[in-house]
Chain A
Amino acid sequence: DAGITQSPRHKVTETGTPVTLRCHQTENHRYMYWYRQDPGHGLRLIHYSYGVKDTDKGEVSDGYSVSRSKTEDFLLTLESATSSQTSVYFCAISAGVVETQYFGPGTRLLVL
């Protein structure tokens, strides 16, 4: 158990509304990641962070922003949600000797 929680676990929202997903870790890991999972695409990296206030874009960053003001929290914001952002969102941390990624339980987001 890598001590990762995500909130909310499920969310239904309407197109055009802002949405913020939270990832919280308890073990002071430096690297944190946000992925989305869609059928036929596996997991795709949205944004990642390598420290407080240090973030960078991943493969599918358009329409998303992130913030990390504390080591333990990594926030993913959809500024104006669209139906194409309906997905399952996973947060991950990097830990261990070989820097394995461990995942949170996921957030299922439906944009109507």
Chain B
Amino acid sequence: AQKITQTQPGMFVQEKEAVTLDCTYDTSDQSYGLFWYKQPSSGEMIFLIYQGSYDEQNATEGRYSLNFQKARKSANLVISASQLGDSAMYFCAMREANRDDKIIFGKGTRLHILP
């Protein structure tokens, strides 16, 4: 069974609109961490944002926020006021406790921002 599910293989969004990228996860651990990464067409993997399972508030980093709904095992990435440079592949990932810091990645969502 997939541990990280990203159900949107591709999305098209108009520039300046807000975007929500979906991510659901599966774990029986109480302690875990959730990550989002961005991969632009140039290929590098860029860390965006982190949410710990015990964090009570949703994580935010500039225009990025993580909508964390623990009971639903959901960790959606929200990008406010999208820009053309946000066009990229986005990966959700999870680290479970006591796993030598190993991270499991979802298959990604390709986001296209339209001018």
- CB within 8 Å of B: which residues of A? 31, 33, 40-45, 48, 50, 56, 58, 88, 90, 92, 94, 98-103, 105-106
> Which residue of B has the minimal Cβ distance to A93?
B101
Given contacts A88-B43, A106-B44, contact A42 B101 (CB under 8 A): no
Interchain CB contact (< 8 A) of A42 among B47, B100, B102, B108: B108
Question: Contact at B95–A99, with CB atoms within 8 Å?
Answer: yes
Indicate if the CB atoms of B33 and A98 lie closer than 8 Å.
yes
B: which residues have CB within 8 A of A? 33, 35, 37, 43-45, 47, 50, 52, 91, 95, 100-108
Cβ contacts under 8 Å, A92 to chain B: 45
Partner of A101, one of B47, B52, B106, B107: B47
Q: Are B50 and A98 in contact (CB under 8 A)?
A: yes
**Contact across chains for A48 and B91 when beta carbons are under 8 A apart:** no
Please state if B52 and A98 are interface contacts (CB–CB under 8 Å): yes
Q: A90-B45, A100-B47, A103-B45 are in contact. List 12 more A-B contacts (CB 8 A).
A: A31-B100, A31-B101, A40-B107, A42-B106, A43-B45, A45-B104, A88-B43, A94-B101, A100-B35, A101-B35, A103-B37, A106-B45
Given A100-B50, A106-B43: A50 and B106 within 8 A (CB)?
Answer: no
Contacts of A43 in B (CB 8 A): 45, 91, 105
Query: Whole-angstrom distance from the CB of A44 to the nearest CB of chain B?
Result: 8
Nearest residue (CB) in B for A58 is B102
Q: How far is the CA of A43 from the CA of B33 in the complex (A)?
A: 17
How far does the Cβ of A92 sit from chain B's closest Cβ, in whole Å?
Answer: 8
A92 to B103, CA, bound (A): 11
Residues of chain A contacted by B33 (CB below 8 angstroms): 98-99
Name 28 A/B residue pairs within 8 A (Cβ), A-sorted: A31-B100, A31-B101, A41-B107, A42-B91, A42-B105, A42-B106, A43-B45, A44-B105, A45-B102, A45-B103, A56-B100, A88-B43, A90-B45, A92-B45, A94-B101, A98-B33, A98-B50, A98-B52, A99-B33, A99-B95, A99-B101, A100-B47, A101-B101, A102-B47, A103-B44, A105-B44, A106-B44, A106-B45
